[in-house]
Structure formats: C-alpha cells, structure tokens
A and B are shown apart, each in its own frame.
Chain A
Amino acid sequence: MSINDWYIILTASVVSASCAILGCFLVLRKMAMVGDAISHAVLPGIVIAFLISGSRDSLIMVAGASAIGLLTTFIIEFLHRRGRLQSDAAIGVTFTSLFAAGVILVSAFTGKIDLDQDCVLYGEIAYVPLDLFITDGGTIVGPRALIIGVVVLLFISGFVWIGFRPLALTTFDPAYAGTIGVSAALWHYLLMGSVSVTTVASFESVGAILVVALLIGPATTSYLLTDNLKIMILLSVLTGIIASAGGYFLAVRMDGSIAGAIASVNGVLFLLAMLFSPRHGLITKKIGRKISAPVQSE
C-alpha cells in the first residue's frame, strides 16, 4: 500500500468518525433527515463563500456553510411551527430549494470556481492526496482534506465530550431538561451547527448525497448493538472506520467509486447488525435465545 492509499483511508475515517458521533444524536432525536437536509443545503453556502472570498480558504467555507446550515434549521422549524407544515414536508421543501440554488450557482460560475457538479454530488476522495497543504515555508504537511478532517474531528469530539450530559438530556427528555434550566433549543442549534461544520468537511470527500450514509449508517448500526449511549457513540466511530477501510479496498478491487463503496459497506454493516445484533437481531431472535423480560402491555 502506498502512502496515498493511507491518506485516502485516513481521510475517510476521520470524516466518518465525526459524522458518526453526531449521527448518534441525530438518530436518537429522530432527526436523521434533518442531517440529510443540512448536508445538501450547505452547498449554496460553500459556493457563495467561494465567490466572495475567491479562495478555498477552509475557515471561510466552514463559516459560510455553517451559516446556511443553521439557516436551514431555522427555516424548517419556521415552516413547521408557523407555516403549519408537517415536519417532513418542511424538510423536503427547504433543502431541495437551497440545494437547487447551489446547483444553479455551481453551473453558472463553473469557470470561476474550483467545483464541478459531479464533485458536489458524489465527492472525489481519490483526489485527496493530490491537494496538499503546504506551509509558507514550503513544508508539506499532508493532504488538505485530511487536515481539515482531523481539525473537525477534534472539534466535534470536544463538543460532545464537554456537552455530553446536556446533549443526552435534551435528546431523551427535552421538557425535563427545560425544567432544570437546560435549554433544548440552545443545544439543538449547537448540534445543528456542528452537523453543518462536519458536512462541509465531508463534502469534498464523499459529496452531498453520500454524507448522509456516514451520518446515519454507523449510528443506526451501533444503535442496534448496544443499550448504552457512550458505547453506542464509540461503536459508531468504529463502524465508520471499518466501513471506510473496507469500502476503500472494495473500490480498488472493483475499480469503482470509493465514496460509493464506503456507503455500501455501511449499508452491509447495518444489515448484519439488523440480522445478528445480540438483543434485537432478527436471526438472533429466531434462533430462540432467551430474550430479556417481556414488556408489559398497556
């Protein structure tokens, strides 16, 4: 294996890990599709940031995309609460409109910005080793996407580490959280802001469509495997890494899309968890292992 293979696997792994951590909370909050919405809706933010700054400066990109990501959550909430739209309909109309605006911007300014539609939709992680981050002194630090991915992963891990209790509490019982002075709205927007940031970091690698696979795939897999939130988060990170490495080798073998292969492996891992999870697995239950005490019906 060359260093380039390692760069690609590492980049996919750090991006997957960030997505998996946040994905756990999205899944438990029944907001998987909001993650989908944000990952698409940040596109116009990225393009506008490009157009204004004229550079691929990551900070500006992250800022622009986060702003749009938060705006997306505001619009969805607004349409749902004030517009009396069902929440799934509110999500559907919001993110498609914003994404479409992004697609128009990309196609209209193709010559001016370093983005093309295929890259936006599917990502191009194979090019990660080509785009190196070089300091002013001329030292090659490593692939730009990998460095951004590591920084984002550190940020996300820190955020969830420090905010673990309020995040878990507002996810499980937002009303109770409110009564002890923990604002569910504040932590909702902090989480959504983090999802936006992570999405931007994942964008170039896996594209707008498949980033959802990274957000939701590992989280749902680990949800089936454990009854402990901390273990669920750790397992989801592990799942994400396994899918990244497995997906890469599969893609190399088949000479196919790396991002597509990673997402497919995520799907396969979920299927395995669904069939063989120790407590909830369909096959495990069939085999007739004694399942824990029956739940009393109301």
Chain B
Amino acid sequence: MKTDHNKQIPAFEVHDLTVAFDKKPVLWNIDLQIPQGKLVGIIGPNGAGKSTLIKASMGLLPISSGYVKILNEPIDEVRQHVSYVPQRESVDWDFPASVMDVVLMGRYTQAGMFRPLRQADKDIATDCLKQVGMLQFADRQISQLSGGQQQRTFLARALAQQADLYFMDEPFAGVDAATEKTIIGLLRSITDSGKTVLVVHHDLQSVQQYFDWVILLNTRLIASGAVTEAFTSELLKETYGGKLSILSEVGNLIRRESFPNRETTLP
C-alpha cells in the first residue's frame, strides 16, 4: 500500500452522492471535497443524514448513486488508511473484553486478521492508551468504564489504526468536560500532523472553537467550507429550517462570535 499521499489531493471527496432508505432519500445529491489536514465538523439537525454520510462513505450502507473517494481512491482500496469511530451506544459494553482487548482491535488491519499480534502491536496500543490518558485502565473490563472512558477507549482504538483519515460519529455525546477537552486536543494533534478528521457534531456553541472546516447538512448539502466562510447565520438558518429555538441560538452565536470562550457567551 502506498503510504505517502500527495498533499494536493483531497482527503475526502463526495460526488453526486444519494443514499435512500426504502425509496426515501436520506442524503440527496451531495457534492463536496475536503482538503487534507483539516478538522471538520459535520453539522445538521437530527435526521439530516450526518451519520449516514459517514457510514455510506465507509461502505457500510448501500449508495443509490454517486461515488465517494478517499485520498483519491475508492474506499475498498484504502481501508487501511481510514479509521471509523462508531457512536458509543452502538456496541454492548457488557461484552467480555478488557480496554486493551478493544484497543488491540485497531491493530487487526495492519497485523492481519488471522496472524498473531506482535509485541510491536501491543506497544502501539499501549502508546495510544497513554495518549488518551487511559493507560491505568488497560486491564479493566469495559463494562466498568464511564461514558467518557468508553469514548477514550474507542479513540485509542482509532489511533492504533494509524490511519490518515478519521471518521468520528458524535465522540462528544455524553462525555464529561475533561474528556471533551482531551479528545479535542488529540484531534488537533492528529490534524497538525497532516491527517484529516471528520466529526459528527451537535453542539453549535463550540463549532467555531473546535473546527476549521464545516459541512452543513440537511439531506441536501447546505455548505462545505472553512468555518469563517460557511458558519454563517444565513447558512445555519437554511440548515436548521424553521426551528425557532435553534434559530435564536444561532443568532446569539453569530452576534457573539468574537468571544471564543463558550462559558462567557451563555446568556
């Protein structure tokens, strides 16, 4: 597999993508390109197709029309370079496994599904646990973890994949403030090394602080661009439609966008 990608090619490219469940479109004619090295927020109301965009891009859902390219290749050619962090609630945490067991799953692509893991793989997993601040919990059973610790475990597994593109489905859902801070710091260090991270995100308040690129989605693509250009009052209104409470929230946000600290922007 090639490992050094031309920095000019887009990390993630979607062309005329339509995804439908039972003939009802969930994503309609999506067209976008994300440059490499960006921390990208995927924003939109519930049912806007945010998770669907990720799952369809990873080949987990059938595509009705259009195509997705990752680092200029179809997904099946570059699976080793792409990492996916599912929603935390999507798995059964009572499964008999330790934190280390889960993180080692991240090495399956590189180590081979049927070959034994080597010491190098275990060292990488240990290092990833250290990065998310979970090393002391390596042997803990996963059902004994808090929500934030579960999320960190998933993040460590993704790091262990050593991918170039990361898809994360709501990594901030139901985690404590300390974990949120740890996670965003990690994502920033990933993108600083030239890799790309796409995050499904719900909290509009923190968008400007966290991301440098946003995808505004509501079945159709409303906008995709640098936060400074795409995260505007008009485009957000278009994304969220007539939801008044959110609209006023958006109004406040835009007015106060010069204040980066979200605690001080709360009324």
- Hey, which bits of chain A sit against chain B, CB under 8 A? 28, 30, 162, 165-166, 168-169, 171-173, 175-176, 178-182, 223, 226-229, 231-232, 292-293, 295-296, 298
* B244 interfacial by beta-carbon distance below 8 Å: no
Given the known interface contacts A179-B60, A179-B79, the answer about A292 and B55 at a Cβ–Cβ threshold of 8 Å is no
Given the known interface contacts A166-B113, A169-B105, A178-B60, the answer about A232 and B147 at a Cβ–Cβ threshold of 8 Å is no
Residues on the A chain within 8 Å of B114, using CB: 162, 165
**B113 engages A182 (CB within 8 Å):** yes
Residues on the B chain within 8 Å of A182, using CB: 108, 113
Given the known interface contacts A293-B144, A295-B146, the answer about A176 and B96 at a Cβ–Cβ threshold of 8 Å is no
Interface stretch, picked from B84-92, B127-135, B198-206, is: B84-92
Residues on the B chain within 8 Å of A227, using CB: 96-98, 141, 143
**A175 engages B146 (CB within 8 Å):** no
Given the known interface contacts A165-B114, A176-B84, A176-B105, the answer about A295 and B145 at a Cβ–Cβ threshold of 8 Å is yes
Output the nearest chain B residue to A171 by Cβ-Cβ distance: B95
CA A169 – CA B98 in complex, angstroms? 13
Q: In residues 140-190 of chain B, which contact A (Cβ within 8 Å)? A: 140-141, 143-148, 157, 161, 174, 176
**B144 engages A173 (CB within 8 Å):** no
Given the known interface contacts A28-B96, A295-B146, the answer about A178 and B59 at a Cβ–Cβ threshold of 8 Å is yes
Given the known interface contacts A295-B146, A296-B147, the answer about A173 and B76 at a Cβ–Cβ threshold of 8 Å is no
**B96 engages A173 (CB within 8 Å):** no
Given the known interface contacts A165-B108, A296-B147, the answer about A173 and B113 at a Cβ–Cβ threshold of 8 Å is no
**A172 engages B91 (CB within 8 Å):** yes
Output the nearest chain B residue to A229 by Cβ-Cβ distance: B96
Given the known interface contacts A173-B86, A295-B143, the answer about A223 and B96 at a Cβ–Cβ threshold of 8 Å is yes
**B96 engages A232 (CB within 8 Å):** yes
**A180 engages B79 (CB within 8 Å):** yes
* B58 interfacial by beta-carbon distance below 8 Å: yes
Question: How many residues does chain B have at the interface if contact means C-beta atoms less than 8 Å apart?
Answer: 36
Residues on the B chain within 8 Å of A175, using CB: 55, 60, 84, 86, 90
6 contacts between A and B (CB under 8 A): A175-B60, A179-B58, A229-B97, A295-B146, A296-B148, A298-B147
CB of A216 to closest CB in B, whole Å: 16
Residues on the B chain within 8 Å of A228, using CB: 96-98
CB of A185 to closest CB in B, whole Å: 12
Residues on the B chain within 8 Å of A168, using CB: 97
Output the nearest chain B residue to A28 by Cβ-Cβ distance: B95
Residues on the A chain within 8 Å of B101, using CB: 229
**B144 engages A296 (CB within 8 Å):** no
* B82 interfacial by beta-carbon distance below 8 Å: yes
Contact of B91 among A173, A179, A232 (CB under 8 A): A173
Q: Is the interface of A mostly helix, strand, loop or mixed?
A: helix
**A176 engages B141 (CB within 8 Å):** no
* B109 interfacial by beta-carbon distance below 8 Å: yes
**B86 engages A176 (CB within 8 Å):** yes
CB of A236 to closest CB in B, whole Å: 11
**B96 engages A180 (CB within 8 Å):** no
CA A231 – CA B96 in complex, angstroms? 9
CA A172 – CA B108 in complex, angstroms? 14
Output the nearest chain B residue to A24 by Cβ-Cβ distance: B96
Residues on the A chain within 8 Å of B92, using CB: 28, 30, 172
9 closest A-B pairs (Cβ-Cβ)?
A: A296-B146, A227-B141, A179-B84, A298-B174, A179-B58, A172-B95, A229-B96, A180-B109, A173-B91
CA A248 – CA B248 in complex, angstroms? 73
Residues on the A chain within 8 Å of B144, using CB: 292-293, 295
Residues on the B chain within 8 Å of A169, using CB: 105, 108
**A173 engages B60 (CB within 8 Å):** no
CA A139 – CA B241 in complex, angstroms? 82
CB of B57 to closest CB in A, whole Å: 10
CA A240 – CA B101 in complex, angstroms? 26
CA A11 – CA B83 in complex, angstroms? 47
CB of A244 to closest CB in B, whole Å: 24
CB of A186 to closest CB in B, whole Å: 12
Residues on the A chain within 8 Å of B113, using CB: 165-166, 182
Residues on the A chain within 8 Å of B90, using CB: 173, 175
